[in-house]
Amino acid sequence: MGRISQRIASISESPTLAVASKAKALREAGRDVIGFGAGEPDFATPSYIVEAAVEACTNPTYHKYSAASGLPELKEAVAEKTARDSGFVVDAGQVLITNGAKHAVYAAMATLVDDGDEVLLPAPYWVTYPEAIRLAGGVPVVVHAGVQQDFRVSVDALEAAWTPRTKLLVFVSPSNPSGAVYSRDEVEAIGRWAAERNVWVLSDDIYEYLVYGDAEYVSMTGIVPELQDRSVIVNGVAKSYAMTGWRVGWMIGPPDVIKAASNLQSHSTSNVNNIAQVAALAALRGGMDSVESMRVAFDRRRRTMYRMLGEIEGVQVVEPRGAFYAFPSLKAFLNKPRGSGATSTSKLAELVLEEALVAFVPGEAFGAPGYARFSYALADDQIEEGMRRLAKFLNG
Ligand SMILES: Cc1ncc(COP(=O)(O)O)c(C=O)c1O
């Protein structure tokens, strides 16, 4: 009998956090590191949101436990926002407020997946999905899409991976780590396929507002209404409102699923911090101006990064169209003198951090060896300097 349960011992530290902490340690040691590792906006939370939280602190109601599934007024605001942005009507009773969208992913997997159930997971994938699937006893079935497919899986690829044990498809557009955004037709085709195959869909909409150029966010559940009884939407305020540290997300689904997930929550975390919930409510009720100004800044940085990555000979990059990540292929630098002999992107990431003081997350973390994730949620001049250092390291 081991000290740590097998289920938990099989989980590794989130590799995205691992890179960020190594970069932080170097920075604390006085080194001038440029960090492309972090998956969060570099902006402060807009002041009207902070002010609402400060006021909530003085209200004794919020010093007490509240309903485990979330403050009723926040659930109402989430339902309204979903009708507006995703195009389908949900009742506040179909909303569960969670400790961030990450917790909603965990809750959704725990609620839907049984031992041995297969979950279709397009790769490159966000690091938490496979672990959350396994924690629930499920089996991640990875469906790859590389630069040639612009990181978007097709219905044919999903069909090829489908078996009678397939319970769920994980769908995220805009995507972390690839920055890919599926077209309206693609979202609809995949949604129709899932509906026909009786496959549940977990749609992670956390980057819905962060789309650029002619890319658009399309809600799969909104566009394929047959999915409403078999889909779960995960979302939150972290990325759009620069609120990663506040830890407020939510899960939306059919009433029985939300009831079951609420039961789980009532025995695990109870309610999400009331002050943070009030802050999230202020965010959702406060209009889109601050979201839009951050989006415009990300778009400018995106173009800088895309251009500079493209200028590095050997780097293969697809234009990122959403979220705040670029996901180039660095395969041309593996096992080559110009990659200092690195045999994997993990090794290359270590060398680049140590020698060029530039941090990025190797593709291995996302089920896509040979690639690397560069976040462009940092100041324009930092992006430029980091890209110059990378180019110098790679091509001398
Ligand atoms: C695709 C995706 N979903 C969910 C999350 C988690 O968001 P939160 O901070 O609300 O837990 C992230 C954060 O990196 C993400 O990239």
* 62, HSE (Cβ side, Cα atoms, 13 Å): 19
Least-confidence region, from 5-9, 253-257, 389-393: 5-9
Judged against a pLDDT cut of 90, whether residue 128 lies above it is answered with yes
Determine if ligand 1 sits within 6 Å of the CB of residue 235: no
pLDDT of residue 229: 97
Task: Read off the pLDDT of each residue in 234-252 and give the average, rounded to a whole number.
Answer: 98
C-alpha 54 – ligand 1 centre gap (Å): 25
Which numbered atom of ligand 1 lies nearest the CA of 248?
A: 10
Determine if ligand 1 sits within 6 Å of the CB of residue 361: no
Determine if ligand 1 sits within 6 Å of the CB of residue 37: no
Determine if ligand 1 sits within 6 Å of the CB of residue 126: yes
Q: What's the 3-state SS for the chain? A: CCCCCHHHHCCCCCHHHHHHHHHHHHHHCCCCCEECCCCCCCCCCCHHHHHHHHHHHCCHHHHCCCCCCCCHHHHHHHHHHHHHHHCCCCCHHHEEEECHHHHHHHHHHHHHCCCCCEEEEEECCCCHHHHHHHHCCCEEEEEECCHHHCCCCCHHHHHHHCCCCEEEEEEECCCCCCCCCCCHHHHHHHHHHHHHCCCEEEEECCCCCCECCCCCCCCHHHHCHHHHHHEEEEEECCCCCCCHHHCCEEEECCHHHHHHHHHHHHHHCCCCCHHHHHHHHHHHHCCCHHHHHHHHHHHHHHHHHHHHHHHCCCCECCCCCECCEECCECHHHCCCHHHCCCCCHHHHHHHHHHHHCEECEEHHHHCCCCEEEEECCCCHHHHHHHHHHHHHHHHC
Tens of pLDDT, residues 295-348: 999 999 999 999 999 999 999 999 999 999 999 999 999 988 777 889 999 899
Q: Measuring CA to CA, how many Å separate 251 from each of 34, 153, 220, 268, 348? A: 34, 24, 15, 16, 37
Judged against a pLDDT cut of 90, whether residue 396 lies above it is answered with no
Q: Residues of the chain with pLDDT > 90: what percent? A: 89
The pick from 129, 131, 206 for probing ligand 1's pocket by mutation, whose C-beta has the most ligand atoms within 8 angstroms, reads 206
pLDDT of residue 106: 98
- 96 close to 261: Cβ distance less than 8 angstroms: yes
Which numbered atom of ligand 1 lies nearest the CA of 99?
A: 11
Task: Read off the pLDDT of each residue in 369-388 and give the average, rounded to a whole number.
Answer: 96
Q: Classify the phi-psi angles of 30: left when phi > 0, otherwise alpha if psi is within -120 to 50, otherwise beta.
A: left
pLDDT of residue 38: 82
Identify which of 282, 274, 286, 247 has the alpha carbon closest to the alpha carbon of residue 58. 274
The whole-chain average pLDDT of the chain stands at 95
Which numbered atom of ligand 1 lies nearest the CA of 104?
A: 11
- 344 close to 369: Cβ distance less than 8 angstroms: yes
The pick from 125, 170, 239, 251 for probing ligand 1's pocket by mutation, whose C-beta has the most ligand atoms within 8 angstroms, reads 239
C-alpha 250 – ligand 1 centre gap (Å): 11
Tens of pLDDT, residues 42-53: 999 999 999 999
The pick from 126, 175, 361 for probing ligand 1's pocket by mutation, whose C-beta has the most ligand atoms within 8 angstroms, reads 126
pLDDT of residue 339: 75
C-alpha 102 – ligand 1 centre gap (Å): 5
C-alpha 101 – ligand 1 centre gap (Å): 5
Judged against a pLDDT cut of 80, whether residue 19 lies above it is answered with no
Judged against a pLDDT cut of 70, whether residue 211 lies above it is answered with yes
Which numbered atom of ligand 1 lies nearest the CA of 236?
A: 10
C-alpha 170 – ligand 1 centre gap (Å): 13
C-alpha 143 – ligand 1 centre gap (Å): 20
Judged against a pLDDT cut of 90, whether residue 7 lies above it is answered with no
Q: Residues of the chain with pLDDT > 70: what percent? A: 98
Judged against a pLDDT cut of 80, whether residue 166 lies above it is answered with yes
C-alpha 206 – ligand 1 centre gap (Å): 6
C-alpha 1 – ligand 1 centre gap (Å): 34
Determine if ligand 1 sits within 6 Å of the CB of residue 176: yes
Determine if ligand 1 sits within 6 Å of the CB of residue 244: yes
